Amino acid sequence: MNYRHAFHAGNHADVFKHLVLSRIFALLSRKEAPFAYLDSHAGVGLYDLAGDQASRTGEWLQGIARLWQAEQMPAAANDYLNAIRALNPDGQLRYYPGSPELARQLSRPQDRLHLNEKHPEDGRLLKDNMAGDRRVAVHLGEGWLVPRALLPTPEKRVVLLIDPPFEQADELARCVQALNEAHARVRQTMVVIWYPIKDERQLKRFYQDLARSNAPKLLRAELLVHPADDASRLNGSGLVISNPPWGLEDELRELLPWLAKSLGQSQGGWRVDWLVEER
């Protein structure tokens, strides 16, 4: 396990993933009933952009730093940006929330968070960063076992984020396997899978596997910062979301053109479509 998310915190892929997550939490919060949030590959939860790892790559400068300076923002970006503002009360961008901290800020007293991180050191940091919040349970186990270990939850509504490091060749296939396991246990689970856009051939296979999965509905959203013609770099990233909340598709159609314009490097692009329509 070599991957450390601190090198990439706040980059274009994080901004895209976390902005979409923030909308999922907002749409779920329209109903009083509690939801559970499961994060199978959680990272440390909170990042110091001035720290050694983030400074060495400076990836966040082409990500969250661009939005931090922007003058005009769509209202739908407010929850996400307010979560970052809360960590940086003096207005200087230094701390960036990972998915655990974002979920902590955008969930309610009745909601529950289960955060899993396998890397022992990152797991310890995650525990420290989440300490004191009784709604949060931190697990230091194998992320791929999360659907089996934690579903069903007492809460009827569940969001499961699957966000592995993609260090190994089989991780796209394992995402589909975890998606199938989650739906086999609780059909209405909302599963969110993040994936890198690099190798188009591998992605084609991934899309086919997803289309053959047991997900009742599957929305695909992608953000490109370069044309997808160079498999050696991160051209952009995607999210597939099973059982997305009502309204998310329309919101993404409004947000993604703005995001592509704000974060595009050699060329911004986006798409939103259904990999699986309701079945």
Ligand X SMILES: C[S@@+](CC[C@H](N)C(=O)[O-])C[C@H]1O[C@@H](n2cnc3c(N)ncnc32)[C@H](O)[C@@H]1O
- The residues annotated as belonging to the active site are 163
| Residue of 11, 22, 99, 237 interacting with ligand X (CB under 6 A) | 99
Q: Using CA atoms, how far apart are residues 241 and 224, in angstroms rounded to an integer?
A: 18
Q: Using CA atoms, how far apart are residues 151 and 4, in angstroms rounded to an integer?
A: 27
Q: Using CA atoms, how far apart are residues 113 and 34, in angstroms rounded to an integer?
A: 11
Decide: is 242 part of the binding site for ligand X (CB under 6 A). no
| Nearest distance in Å: CB 223, ligand X | 15
Cβ proximity to ligand X: between 79 and 117 the closer is 117
Alpha carbon separation from 28 to 37, 133, 158 (Å, rounded): 11, 20, 10
Decide: is 237 part of the binding site for ligand X (CB under 6 A). no
The distance of Cα 93 from the centroid of its chain, to the nearest Å, equals: 20
Decide: is 59 part of the binding site for ligand X (CB under 6 A). no
Decide: is 143 part of the binding site for ligand X (CB under 6 A). yes
| Nearest distance in Å: CB 100, ligand X | 7
Decide: is 117 part of the binding site for ligand X (CB under 6 A). yes
| Nearest distance in Å: CB 146, ligand X | 8
Which range in 37-45, 87-95, 202-210, 231-239 contacts ligand X by CB under 6 A? Answer: 37-45
Q: Provide CB contacts within 8 A for 186, sequence distance 6+.
A: 151, 152, 158
Say whether 79 sits in a helix, a strand or coil.
Answer: helix
Q: Provide CB contacts within 8 A for 208, sequence distance 6+.
A: none
| Nearest distance in Å: CB 60, ligand X | 13
8 Å CB contact between 41 and 143: yes
Decide: is 165 part of the binding site for ligand X (CB under 6 A). yes
Decide: is 163 part of the binding site for ligand X (CB under 6 A). yes
Binding stretches for ligand X (CB under 6 A): 1, 3, 5, 17, 39, 41-43, 98-99, 116-119, 122, 142-144, 163-165
